[in-house]
Structure 1
Amino acid sequence: MSVTMRTVSEDEADIRLDRYFRRHYPHLTQGALQKLCRTGQIRVDGKRVEAKTRLEPGQSVRVPPIPASEKHAKDGPRPLDERLAREIRKMVVYSDDKVIVLNKPSGLATQGGPGITQHIDMMLDGLREGDDPRPRLVHRIDKDTSGLLLLARTPGVAAKLAAAFRGRDVKKTYWAVVVGRPDPLSGEIDQPLARLGGGPGAITIAAERSDEDAQSARSDYEVLDSAGKKFSWLALSPLTGRTHQLRVHCEVLGTPILGDPKYGGEKAHPDGFEDRLHLHARSLVLPHPSGGTLEVSAELPPHMRETFRSLGFIAGSTPAPRRR
């Protein structure tokens, strides 16, 4: 082992030194890092530094010999099953050097949890290129919801995109088939929500504005087509980001999403249709980390295509991804 010199990348701007080392040497403890800083073995541009020092792109970091922990050396990262790697690669609808966009199938969870044995997060190594970092999830969609899921290729890009989501700079459009026809045919749903319970059994309910646990929740909706008054095809845009927001807001309208396993009761499960949630994250419009705007759309999942066919809804072709 010998001393190595690493150059801080643009993607690592303003990161603390301890977090920089945690990213590249995850087995190095905070105490060991601080000792290496105190003794001058870790330096930045030849100068002594503290663990809290923030780094700038282009700086040179002196890294002393750091032995791998026995567990790290023995176990290492477990290779991803090739079947799962193929599955996640087939989901890719857009990819460049900053971001990856997937079309997630209905029924596949975004992240792990009780009783979940397969999820997107465990499959991300299938999208790594060479020695590049493991892609990171930027946001989540429900297990039963299909459609677009945004990934960042590096932690720095993930931070930028997460900020865009928090700042409402990302426009998300969902398509849903609902039971009934809303009146009026378009508008904004402004209904506060509250969360009851925790974990996978938790539900979201419409709440009074005066409720202590109430959170502001707003969604735009528009009827794109309808089959009489029995079923409608909606475009939904969440203006806030509450758990199960669109599903509860559709229930508030009196038109629950077809096949919803958690909301809408018996009305959401009429005979003659596949009993799966008919909610699809159709499009994303977002500021690209390298500049400009990225627009991506996702094709409908098979069960929604069949329902569209039976109800006479015509979705048309899916636009190709566009960066402008």
Structure 2
Amino acid sequence: MEESNELLVNDNELHEHYTFTVEKGQQPLRIDKYLMNFVENATRNKIQAAAKDGSILVNEIAVKSNYKVKPFDKIRVLFEHPPYENLLVPEDLPIDVVYEDDDLLVVNKAPGMVVHPGHGNYSGTLINALMFHFDNLPNNSSNRPGLVHRIDKDTSGLLVVAKTEIAMAHLSAQFKAKTSEREYVALVWGNVDLEEGTIEGNIGRHPKNRLQNTVYFGDEADKGKPAVTHYKVLQRLGYVTLLACRLETGRTHQIRVHMKHIGHTLFNDERYGGERILKGTTFTKYKQFVDNCFKTLPRQALHAKSLGFVHPTTGEKMSFTTEIPQDMQSCIKKWESYSNHLVEDQN
């Protein structure tokens, strides 16, 4: 058994930043190495410093950084300051408002903007901007002002924001009941076999990398939550395919996880391995072309293009659509040109 410190005193003065329960199949692993897979933007030095300060508890006992985690260990990371994501500060940042009335607004989020503060992103988020531009936004169940749903930092596109408690409850209920409509445009690796299809697979945290999600099926299906994605081919571009993806459910990273699951990882999706060349030739010229595409679109190729819902006050059906951002359009054009040359060469 690893040597440990005394039970951490006066837990009331400390704030919980992370909590994990170790999976049953986990092999013994130093806690500093283990936490690097589960805490975004964490370095081993930071984790070791936290352990030295008595901030890392396993089963309510403070441990050193060389403690080896075991299945079912309950890990808590505590600090004297509240989590930064709870310290919401209004910031004068531009918001692209597509529509606004007394009850709600629809925002076209730029790529690279985080929706709400979290580890490593404590300012410059959409919520910081919303708090500056709008007073008294209602909190959702996670205490985040105005947010009915979210999209990933490097995904661009449409979000609806509630301005009243009634709108928050009404819109949240629509998303929960799956009656809202959300369609994305995605550029994925490979030539997708079917013209259209449906991916069903429960999505949950990846057992070895908490920063990823994965599909669970068969006996392990209960480790994830049901998720359904409908897709349709818009354009075949040689070694990549442009798809329209319609969400029936709204799990974290849903399109990214489902597409990887069927062997068509999103183009330049670094977290899921799409920043490598997954399809194509071994020619140096091709590698240079793809690298150029990565530079043109330095994020996953995903855009929330369309959004539909029923207005919480008027009962009117609302539908919105937005243009694909310039970086993604430029990347698609490069692949159009490349695939045309590919066809010409084959003829």
Q: Please give the range of the TM-score, normalised by the shorter of the 2 chains.
A: 0.5 to 0.7
Of 163, 172, 189, which residue of structure 2 is paired with 1:153? 163
Structure 1 position 299, deviation (Å): 1.7
Q: Which residue matches 1:271?
A: 291
Q: Where do 1:41-60 residues align within 5 Å?
A: none
Asked if structure 2 preserves the Cα contact closer than 8 Å seen for 1:136 and 1:151, the reply is: yes
Distance 1:78 1:165 in 2: 25
Q: Which runs of 5+ in 2 are unaligned?
A: 1-86, 139-144, 280-289, 338-347
Match of 2:101 in 1: 96
1:247 maps to: 256
Say how many residue pairs are matched.
Answer: 228
2:318 aligned with 1:294: yes
Q: Distance in 2 between matches of 1:185 and 1:272?
A: 28
Query: Secondary structure of 2:300's partner?
Result: coil
2:225 aligned counterpart, secondary structure: coil
Any conservation in 2 of the 1:194–1:207 contact (CA below 8 Å)? yes
TM value normalised by structure 2: 0.61
Q: TM-score, normalised by structure 1?
A: 0.65
Alpha carbons of structure 1 residues 79 and 243: separation in structure 2 relative to 1, 3 Å: closer
Counterpart-to-counterpart distance in 1, 2:89 and 2:197: 49
Secondary structure at the counterpart of residue 215 of structure 1: coil
Q: Which amino acid aligns with 2:248?
A: L
Between the aligned partners of 2:230 and 2:97, the Cα distance in structure 1 is 28
d(CA) in 2 for partners of 1:132, 1:110: 18
Distance 1:252 1:121 in 2: 32
Structure 1 spans left out of the alignment, 5+ residues = 1-76, 314-324
SS, match of residue 262 in structure 1: helix
Report whether the alignment pairs 1:280 with 2:286.
Answer: no
Structure 1 residue aligned with 2:191: 181
For residues 272-318 of structure 1, the C-alpha deviation after alignment (integer angstroms, 9 at most, x for no partner) is 213311100000111111211000012222210211222339xxxxx
Aligned residue among 204, 208, 214 for 1:205:
214
Query: Which residue is 1:122 aligned to?
Result: 128
RMSD, aligned α-carbons: 2.5
Does the CA-based 8 Å contact 1:192-1:209 persist in structure 2? Answer: no
For the pair 1:194 / 2:218, whether they are aligned, the reply is: no
Aligned partner of 2:334 in structure 1 is 310
Q: Give 1:166 deviation, angstroms.
A: 0.4
Q: Secondary structure at the match of 1:182?
A: coil
- Other structure's SS at 1:242 match: coil
Distance 2:137 2:211 in 1: 34
**TM-fit CA distance, 1:133:** 4.5
User: Aligned partners of 2:90, 2:308: CA distance in 1, in Å?
Assistant: 31
Indicate the SS of the match to 2:291: coil
Q: Which has the larger radius of gyration?
A: 1
Q: Deviations over 1:88-137 (max 9, x none)?
A: 2xx11111222101110111111111110321111113432xx6656611
CA distance in 1, matches of 2:136, 2:224: 42
Identity in percent: 34
Q: 2:116 is matched with which residue?
A: 111
Deviations for 1:50-92, whole angstroms, at most 9, x for unmatched residues? xxxxxxxxxxxxxxxxxxxxxxxxxxx998444x1xx12xx11
1: CA distance, partners of 2:119 / 2:203: 25
How far apart are residue 202 of structure 1 and its match?
2.3
Q: Residues 119 and 286 of structure 1: is their aligned pair in 2 closer, same or farther, counting only changes over 3 Å?
A: same
Secondary structure at the aligned position of 2:219 is classed as: coil
